[in-house]
Amino acid sequence: MKIVFKDAAMYQNGRITSGDLFLSDGMISDPFLRPDFVVDAKKYFIFPGFADVHVHLREPGFSCKETIAAGTAAAARGGYTRVCAMPNLNPVPDSPEHLEAELSIIRRDAKIRVYPYGAITVGEKGETLAPIGEMTEAIAFSDDGKGVQSDEKMEAAMIRAAALGKIIAAHCEDESLLHGGYIHDGAYAAAHGHKGICSQSEWGPIQRDLALAKKTGCAYHVCHISCAESVELIRQAKADGVNVTCETAPHYLALCDEDLQEDGRFKMNPPLRSRGDRDALIRGVLDGTIDMIATDHAPHTAEEKSKGLAGSLMGVVGLETAFPVLYTHLVRPGIVPLERILQMLCDNPCSRFGLGISGILPGTPADFTVFNLEQSYTVDPASFLTMGRATPFAGTKVFGQCLLTVCDGRIVWRDKSVLTMPEEL
């Protein structure tokens, strides 16, 4: 099958250009004559498939919250063709055998590419270092959901990871500073009688880990940063030559604790912080301190998210709303250029984590997503493909509708009500 997307805007080599995209039997092709099918793409933008280095697909162990089939279908609908799955599962992927339990489901059910993390410590308990060197199919190592509390254990993990050329991706949280908190320790918590989480519980472990990364030479990645101090510490560390990257999430860039409501869909870890923290994150996006945007897609059951801010479990979903939220809140108002957002969703995660080529290049399998950026809609969790429904953006108007996602030359999502084209490439 030979297909042409005619007169599209495309992101290539860091720039938005206009032209035609040629596909031949699922491969990006050089220009040809006599296509079998032409897509009028004048209103569309074509981007490389997005990559998310921080998602929770909940299998094995917690399929009442999410499955790999549902989570990857949601990712495809959001424009993603690559995701990295966190290890807080049952069994925890802390050995080759436990990792294989997850890989077998990925091979069977995943709609897109899924790269699993291995755990840093056995059972993510922070006590015994997992056999990192034996888990060769792990994309990186993390105890996400828990911070490694021991300096000695983190240093040992970094030494081992550095020897193997692997990344340590850290959920940075000092449990001794939590004091039962569950939202940001700011004005909203004080006004509504909630227990707060101080910012130092995040930036303190980052400060420790940056010193250890410098000492060991480990490739270090900081998960879901949320506060101004974290941005500045990472900015300084990069200037000092530390091998560090970091991510933040769409909700930290679009919202702050002033937007909180008494609803579990606003509860995540780390929490939404102050307006000043959000502004510092945006500055970090603009100056390159923050390398990538990850969703921390974390589905829970409706019951688990129905107990308000105090009683609900931490975590919100985000794969189906990430790009529209970023485009609506940051790009359309002129705060962040579209090219910068795409660099953080495509180029940087693929480069840092070794997820393959991010680009629309002749001779490579088709791997891209198509959006209508002028199409607006209201976020309706009832329409999600993920099993999770908790999002702080429910009921909000966003711009940017995903029409098509192609992964490895296969159509993995198509909005059939809008885009007319063959079922297969």
- Catalytic site positions: 296
Provide the 3-class DSSP secondary structure of residue 185: coil
Q: Cα separations (Å) of 142 from 92, 117, 270, 271?
A: 11, 7, 16, 20
Q: Which residues contact 239 (CB under 8 A, 6 or more apart)?
A: none
Tokens at 367, concatenated: 């791997």
CB 122 within 8 A of CB 93: no
Q: How far apart are CA 226 and CA 256, in angstroms?
A: 10
| Token pair for 291 | 């390398």
- Bond preceding residue 270 cis, omega within 30 of 0: yes
Q: Could you tell me if residue 126 is left (phi over 0), alpha (psi between -120 and 50 degrees) or otherwise beta?
A: left
Instruction: Identify whether the C-beta of residue 201 lies closer than 8 Å to the C-beta of residue 180.
Output: no
Residue among 35, 114, 24, 31 nearest 71 (CA): 114
Environment class of 367 (CB within 10 Å of its CB; exposed 0-12, middle 13-18, buried 19+): buried
H or E element at residue 310: helix 308-311
103 vs 341: CA distance, rounded Å: 30
